[in-house]
Amino acid sequence: MDISSFRQSRFFKVISNKYFITIVIFIGLMIFSPNNNIVYNFKIKKQLKELENQKEFLKKEIESDSLHFLELEKSLETAEKFGREKYIMKAEDEDIFIIKEQEHSESEDK
């Protein structure tokens, strides 16, 4: 295949088309440009979606904690129960015994 027949070929006509060259350059810039990188944009969109999900979860947590806080403020018995359960607090005239269950492993059973 010589140069004149190569220039006559359909392949050469396609790759020498100014629109084809412009599209190839544009795609190359979109893929490899640091400011408009497609892969980077996909990562950012994924991270944004994860953060939005986390935001919704935290909003629900804040709402439930606010309700729990209001309940603790209103009732002295609820506050006392919370203190006993979470912080192992006790009254002056009582003793607290903490009983922990042991984990059984398969090697102990043999």
Give pLDDT tens digits for 48-73: 999 999 999 999 999 999 998 898 88
pLDDT at 21 over 80: yes
Does 23 reside within a domain? yes
Q: Yes or no: say if 50 and 44 are a contact pair by the CB < 8 Å rule.
A: no
Q: How far is CA 11 from CA 14, 28, 60, in A?
A: 5, 20, 60
Q: Let me know if residue 87 belongs to a domain.
A: yes
Note down the domain range covering 49. 11-91
Flag whether 5 is in a domain: no
Both tokens of residue 46?
Answer: 């994924």
- Does any domain span residue 76? yes
Domain annotation covers residue 3: no
- CB 14, CB 20: distance < 8 Å: yes
Whether residue 27 is contained in a domain is answered as: yes
Q: Please report which confidence band the pLDDT of residue 78 belongs to, taking 50, 70 and 90 as the band edges.
A: confident
Please tell me the total count of domains within the chain: 1
Phi, psi of 108 (to 5 degrees): -75, -30
Give this prediction's pTM: 0.49
Residues of the chain with pLDDT > 70, as a percent, come to 89
- Tell me: the pLDDT tens digits for 32-46? 777 777 778 889 999
